[in-house]
Structure formats: C-alpha cells, structure tokens
C-alpha cells in the first residue's frame, strides 16, 4: 500500500478501490514501522458509508479488531453514516482515571510498601470474578448502567467533585439497559470495581516533570506530587455487548446494502433500529466502565487514608474506547457526527463548552499511560486538532503477549522493576511477563509524535513508584 509522508509526523494513504476518503496516520517512521500490519485496517475504515474527512490513526497505532487500535473515524448520520462496534472495541469505555495526592513522593516513601500491601488485597484483578461492590440485585446494576459514576456517588462511593472532573460528568446519556443481553448482565454483575487482566493496572506515581505550569496548576498537579492512575474498562459486560451487536449487525448489513472489506467492520446506519440499539447498549457499558473506575478509586482512597493519612482528589477520568455523537466543523459547516475512537482519547481544546469551568482555560486533560517501568503523560487538547479533537491513548503494543512472555519471566521482571525502586504487586507471574516494557513502543516517542502532529500538548510526565497489575 502506498503510504506517503505529507507533513511532520503525518503519513497519507491515498484513496484506492472502495476507499471513500484517504487514510491519515500521525506517527514517525520509527513508530510506523512496527504497525505495518495495521495500515490495511486504516484503509478499510475509509470504505465505511458516510465516513468524513479521513480515516485517522494515532501514533500508538497497532493491529486491532476491525479498526486499528489508535483508530479514529467520524461518520455523518445525515449522509448514510454508520456505527461500527469494531470502532469502539470489546472493552467499551476502557479508560484512565488520575487522582492527585496531598503528599509528595518523599513523604510517601517511608510508607510506600505499607500502601502497596494495603492495595494488593482490595483491588480485585485477573480473569476471575471479584469486585469492590457486591450488588444485591438487578436494580442496582440497572442504576449503574443508566447512571454510571453518578449512581455510584449517590450510593456513597465518592464525592460530587468526582463527577465534575469526569468526562460527561460521569454518566453517558441515552443508555438503554433493555439492549443489554442477560449473558452480558451475568458477566458484569459480579465485577463492578475490578481491574480485569491484560494491560489494566493501578499505579502509584510521582510527577517527574511539569511542562506547562499553568495547565498543571489548573489540573491540580505539581512537581514531585504523588498520583494514582487507574486503567480499566467495562469488563465482561462490555465484551459481551460488543459480541452480541457485531453478530446482529453482520446479519443486518445486506438489508441496508452495506458491504465491508472485513467482517470485523460490521456496521449499520447510525439512525437505524440496530444502530440505536447498539448506541443504547454501548452507553450502558460506558456507564459501567465509569462506575468501575469510581469504585476502584474509592478503594484506593481508603487505603491511602488508612496507611498514610493522605487524601486523593480526582484530576480527570476519560475513556479511550467509545463512539459519541459530537458537533464538528467540516468544510466550514458545523455537522453532527458519530465519532469512533478506538484506543484514542477525546482531547477537547481550551474554551470548549463541554469542559468544566475550572478546566476550560487549560483544555481537557488527556491521560496517556506508559508501561511498567516507564513514564506516563498528562496532555491537554489544543485548538484546531486535525482528527476530531482526538489524541493517543498509550504506548501501543509491538509484541504479542506470547512473544513478551517468552522474553522474560514474571519473577525476573519484578526483580528488575523493584531494583529500579518500583514496588510491584502482580496477579500472576505470566500476566506480569506479558506486560513488560519491551512489549510496547516508547511512550515518550508516541507523545512527541502526537504533539508534533498538532494533536495535543504536554503538561506533565509521571513515573511509577508502585504498580498493582491486572
């Protein structure tokens, strides 16, 4: 496929065959090389009915289901635009929550091991069941599916300020629990407040560098401050919802005359009955994901308060697997579009009306976790972002889990990390080995490419002090 560099950190795939728009990948040559197998997916997305401007990919691009992970695409519902679960992913509303502590790293150091020992048993993780919140019945789960973090806070799991610093104020509108299958409910009922496995984690961090003091101050961050970052999503409930609705759309595409180059791009018109059903189920899963992070945040707060007398305040909570109906200017005209972000973070610019007043001048916090032993970043949105106000979501995988586990044992990796002063609490040795730093791209290079491409701006860099691994 002909991929041409057409600007700083920007590569273009010219339309060919069934492509309706070009493909655009924001990356350096070094970042693009290991993602060669995902380039075809960027081109495939460009064939979707109603797609607008381009099929985009972020610097952390790698192979995904249907869409590349790091993929962004907007479709116009008024021009036959479609919704595709492959553009959201199986872990609906997987995202990141960052909390800032009222203590610096030097103050936490004497009790860090105590804090980590406290977090280890209260943060459920791994493939099995287990959760912070054991729901007594379907009514409570319905409350989560419709109310998200807001319902959790109303039930005593957090404070009103948490909602002000959460995307969509903690609750996605339009959730329809009636579109969530019983199998999805069964999978989700006993997992509210759990990390899951894979690349999910809770990490205790230190603010190592501040690049934009004004934005950092607005976010509540300062040099040497302790932070807690949580990365997780909607667990088995979201996975089942994606599975159910992909199957339904596969059966319905012929009715709408839709053909796609990859069955994983199953889709239907946004406004169709099947499209509305998926949007309602997806919003319910997104609310589950928000509540999930809210519960884990509360568990961490209790440990920090008990072990160190420390308070944790929410900096922000944002998803990176979601489709949303948003207004964007296209060719000088404001249009309502369905924006798919799959492994990509919404990055609203300064002044955007959807931001809370105390963040409006600085822009939206964009939370980009790295890997165990490397940095994570806090970014902010910028005016005129070229991909529907989107930015990267992480380092981007380069090795499969099997390849990563062959390269190092979990025991050896833990020893290496603890030699660097990072306390590690894994759920399994195999799971730890699968998520070693060598399995991912250099997150600093990913962030440099995102900033160089005009997607975002750096605010702060965080480094790990301790990690609880899924």
Digit-coded pLDDT (tens) for 9-60? 999 999 999 999 999 999 999 999 999 999 999 999 999 999 999 999 999 9
Mention every residue, 6+ apart, whose C-beta is less than 8 A from residue 247.
Answer: none
What pLDDT score does 126 carry?
79
Instruction: Write down the pTM of the prediction.
Output: 0.96
What pLDDT score does 282 carry?
98
- How are beta strands 225-232 and 95-104 bridged, if at all? antiparallel
The answer to whether the CB of 43 falls within 8 A of the CB of 57 is no
Residue 157 among the catalytic residues: no
Q: What is the largest CA-CA distance in the chain?
A: 65
Residue 420 CB-half CA count within 13 A = 15
Distance separating alpha carbons of residues 459 and 452, to the nearest angstrom: 14
- Distances, alpha carbon 362 to alpha carbons 93, 129, 212, 319, 355, in Å: 24, 40, 10, 19, 10
In three-state secondary structure terms, 315 is strand
- Distances, alpha carbon 333 to alpha carbons 74, 257, 271, in Å: 15, 28, 21
Distance separating alpha carbons of residues 51 and 170, to the nearest angstrom: 29
What pLDDT score does 138 carry?
79
What is the chain's pLDDT, residue by residue, as a tens digit (470 residues)? 789 999 999 999 999 999 999 999 999 999 999 999 999 999 999 999 999 999 999 999 999 999 999 999 999 999 999 999 999 999 999 999 999 999 999 999 999 999 999 999 999 987 766 788 888 777 889 999 999 999 999 999 999 999 999 999 999 999 999 999 999 999 998 899 999 988 999 999 999 999 999 999 999 999 999 999 999 999 999 999 999 999 999 999 999 999 999 999 999 999 999 999 999 999 999 999 999 999 999 999 999 999 999 999 999 999 999 999 999 999 999 999 999 999 999 999 999 999 999 999 999 999 999 998 899 999 999 999 999 999 999 999 999 898 999 989 999 999 999 999 999 999 899 999 999 989 999 999 999 999 999 999 999 999 999 999 98
C-beta neighbour count of 205 within 10 angstroms: 26
The answer to whether the CB of 82 falls within 8 A of the CB of 48 is yes
Catalytic, out of 134, 157, 393, 402: 393
């Amino acid at each position: 496929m002909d991929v041409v560099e057409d600007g700083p950190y920007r590569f273009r795939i010219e339309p060919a065959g069934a492509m309706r728009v070009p493909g655009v990948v924001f990356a350096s040559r070094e970042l693009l090389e290991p993602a060669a197998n995902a380039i075809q997916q960027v081109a495939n997305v460009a064939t979707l009915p109603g797609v607008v401007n381009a099929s985009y990919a972020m610097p952390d691009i790698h192979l995904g289901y249907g869409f590349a992970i790091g993929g962004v695409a907007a479709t116009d519902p008024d021009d036959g635009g479609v919704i595709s679960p492959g553009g959201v992913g199986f872990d609906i509303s997987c995202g990141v929550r960052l909390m800032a502590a009222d203590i610096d790293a030097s103050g936490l150091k004497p009790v860090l091991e105590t804090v980590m020992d406290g977090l280890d048993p209260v943060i459920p993780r791994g493939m099995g069941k287990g959760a912070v919140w054991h729901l007594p019945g379907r009514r409570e789960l319905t409350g989560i599916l419709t109310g998200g973090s807001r319902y959790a806070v109303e039930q005593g799991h957090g404070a009103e300020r948490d909602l002000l610093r959460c995307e969509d104020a903690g609750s996605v509108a339009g959730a329809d629990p009636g579109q969530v299958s019983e199998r999805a409910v069964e999978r989700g009922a006993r997992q509210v407040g759990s990390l899951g496995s894979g690349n999910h984690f809770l990490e205790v961090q230190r603010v190592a560098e501040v690049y934009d003091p004004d934005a950092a101050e607005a976010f509540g961050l300062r040099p040497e401050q302790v932070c807690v970052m949580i990365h997780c999503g909607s667990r088995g409930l979201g996975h089942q919802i994606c599975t159910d609705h992909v199957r339904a759309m596969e059966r319905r595409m012929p009715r709408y005359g839709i053909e796609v180059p990859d069955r994983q791009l199953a889709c239907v018109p946004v406004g169709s009955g099947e499209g509305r059903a998926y949007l309602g189920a997806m919003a319910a899963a997104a609310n589950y994901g928000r509540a999930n992070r809210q519960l884990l945040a509360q568990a961490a707060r209790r440990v920090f308060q008990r072990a160190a007398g420390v308070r944790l305040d929410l900096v922000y909570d944002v998803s990176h697997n979601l489709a949303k109906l948003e207004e964007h200017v296209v060719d000088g005209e404001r249009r309502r579009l369905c924006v798919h972000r799959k492994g990509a973070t919404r990055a609203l610019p300064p002044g955007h009306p959807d931001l809370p007043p105390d963040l409006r001048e600085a822009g939206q916090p964009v939370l980009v976790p790295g890997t165990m032993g490397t940095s994570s970043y806090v970014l902010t949105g910028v005016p005129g972002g070229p991909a529907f106000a989107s930015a990267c979501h992480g380092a981007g995988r380069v090795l499969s889990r099997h390849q990563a586990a062959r390269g190092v044992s979990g025991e050896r990796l833990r020893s290496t990390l603890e030699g660097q002063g990072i306390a590690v609490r894994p759920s399994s040795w195999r799971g730890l080995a699968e998520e070693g730093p060598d399995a991912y791209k250099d997150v600093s290079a990913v962030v440099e490419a995102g900033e160089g491409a005009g997607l975002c701006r750096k605010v702060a860099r965080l480094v790990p002090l301790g990690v609880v691994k899924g």
